[in-house]
Chains A and B, each alone.
Chain A
Amino acid sequence: MNTVKLYIRSMGMLLKSHLQYPLSFFMQTIAQLIMEGGEMLAVILIVNRFRQLKDWTGGNLFFFFGIMSVSFYITEFFGRGITGDFPSMVRTGRLDTFLVRPRGVLTQVLCGGIDPRRITCIAVGVAALVIGSRMSEVVWTPLKVLCFAESIAMSCLLILGLFMIEAIFCIHSVKSVELVNALTYGGRSACQYPIDIYPKPLRMLFTIIAPFALTLHVPAAWIMGKNLYGWPSWTAFVTPLSGVLVFGIMTVLFKQGIRFYRSTGS
């Protein structure tokens, strides 16, 4: 519990420090809004021109887009230490100071960064979710809300886990490995559309290796009253748990990786 308290306190402090430069913060937040708005514009234009994608209606597509951007940007908001700052921590040797403190390295890395500019991206995602659920005529029940919350939480863990792959590579090679971006940012771009439109290799990739399909698409499809893979509806509650699995594996690997960490010097 102590760790959670520590995390919340550091979040508060970091938030304050970001707000020290209000104008710059405001500008960047607006820039983020426009950026994510542009992504949504692409979906709107696609829906406008094509009406539907396989069996998915326009509303379904907005919902998929929304659930993806909400989970992705919540992760970037709170996990900035891993998703953004880590390579520079290794390069500059800042990670060294973490090793001598009486807390886990991962905890400290996560406590070390926050990206509140992403709030506008999350807002765009929420707007897409509202539009999507209206258009798909979703009837929200407590069970669906629970499933939705689980899906978001597990996807956040999954995305964090995927970013940790980059961090683990980074410990070994010092330089950040851009190729992993194909899984993280590529996963976001690909899986903001339902998985079943992709050919088999891509489907396998996003179901087994980076299981966005399990954490996002299966529950989202169930919420909208559709069925993705023809699986029974209880799977909507079970498959998202793969997110915590990926995160767990990556945490273990991360701890292993830290053992091999060699400082770049100061």
Chain B
Amino acid sequence: MRAYLTVFRMRMHMELQYRGAMIGGILCQMFFGIVLTALYRALYAGHPQAIPIEHVVTYVWLQQACFRMLVSSDPDLLDKIRSGNISYDMCRPVNMYWFYYMRIMAQKLMGSIMRGVPMIVVAALLPKGWGIAWPHSFAGFCAACFSLVPGLLCMCALENITMGFTMRTLDPRGIQSMLNLLMVTFSGNLLPLTLFPDSWQKVITFLPYAQLLDAPIRLYTGEYAVSEALRIIPVQLGWCFALTFLGMWLWKSNKKRMIVQGG
């Protein structure tokens, strides 16, 4: 257990090193946030919807703030898969799956805290209707924070599944970009899930991708009442277990068919 915690801590420290990239990332994400906000505001001006514009804008900002949590992968692992150096990892006295799970979790968590917190602060200072709104209620805020935990766990499990596929195909670009696209679309980053057709929403809110950020954000804005958290969090946890088991099974079967070329 201690080994995993150490990996987690080390990776956190490493992520902290890239402060220059952080500022660039924040400014870039802020820009996208402003563009999207302007777009939705213009769309709402002509055709108001049942969901208030403040919720959509808040949704956009929270998505942008957590962008790093959504799409970031472990560059070292990708390198190792390509070069075959992953075989060294088999010698480590730790479970490979959890070793990389902790690494990616530290990367996602630290990366999004570093970028997300300053962004949310700046977005909160923007004029009303442009910036992020206060949470619907304090209880809703707590529920949202709490449901981010299974959300993050789901994200790491999904990332490891992608990596599991990459181990088979070796070329990350094909399968990875497909899975990433599914993620970006159905997690609400491309278009808030609240703006998808209502009939679709019944299905997509149950998909694993909606558990990552969509569910916490809806709790934050009050789209889901606090009492509904009792329904949502079990769904999130269910996906967590399912995705983790799938990933572990995938990694295990990959280990069996691994051929070390020597050299």
Contacts and interface: CB of A to CB of B under 8 A. Distances in A.
Contacts of B10: none
A32 B180 CA distance: 12
Interface stretch (A50-58, A76-84, A93-101): A50-58
Interface stretch (A182-190, A232-240, A254-262): A182-190
A194 B255 CA distance: 51
Given A48-B197, A50-B43, A53-B42, A182 B178 contact: no
Given A45-B197, A178-B21, A189-B35, 13 more contacts: A27-B169, A28-B173, A31-B181, A35-B181, A41-B185, A46-B191, A51-B47, A178-B28, A186-B31, A186-B32, A197-B39, A198-B42, A202-B34
Interface string B180-205: 01001100001100011100000000
A31 B173 contact: yes
Contact of A31 (B21, B24, B174): B174
B49 interface: yes
Interface of A: 24, 27-28, 30-32, 34-35, 38-39, 41-42, 45-46, 48-54, 177-179, 181-182, 186, 189-190, 193, 197-199, 202
A54 B39 CA distance: 11
B45 interface: yes
A203 to B, nearest CB: 10
A27 B174 contact: yes
A187 to B, nearest CB: 9
Contacts of A181: 28
Contacts of A42: 185, 190-191
Given A45-B191, A198-B38, A178 B171 contact: no
Given A31-B178, A34-B181, A46 B43 contact: yes
B28 A182 contact: yes
A193 B191 contact: no
Which residue, of B45, B185, B197, has the highest number of chain A Cβ atoms within 10 A? B185
B174 A202 contact: no
The 4 closest A-B pairs by CB, nearest first: A27-B174, A197-B42, A31-B177, A178-B24
Contacts of A30: 174, 178
Dominant secondary structure of chain B at its interface with chain A: helix
A45 B43 contact: no
A202 B43 contact: no
B43 to A, nearest CB: 5
Interface in B210-260: none
B204 to A, nearest CB: 11
Contact of A39 (B38, B47, B190): B190
Contacts of B46: 50-54
Contacts of B191: 42, 45-46
B86 interface: no
Contacts of A190: 35, 39
Contacts of B121: none
A179 B22 CA distance: 11
B175 interface: yes
B171 A27 contact: yes
Given A28-B173, A53-B43, A34 B31 contact: no
Nearest to B36: A189
A28 B27 CA distance: 30
A178 B38 CA distance: 23
10 contacts: A27-B174, A27-B175, A34-B177, A34-B181, A38-B181, A38-B185, A45-B195, A181-B28, A193-B39, A197-B39
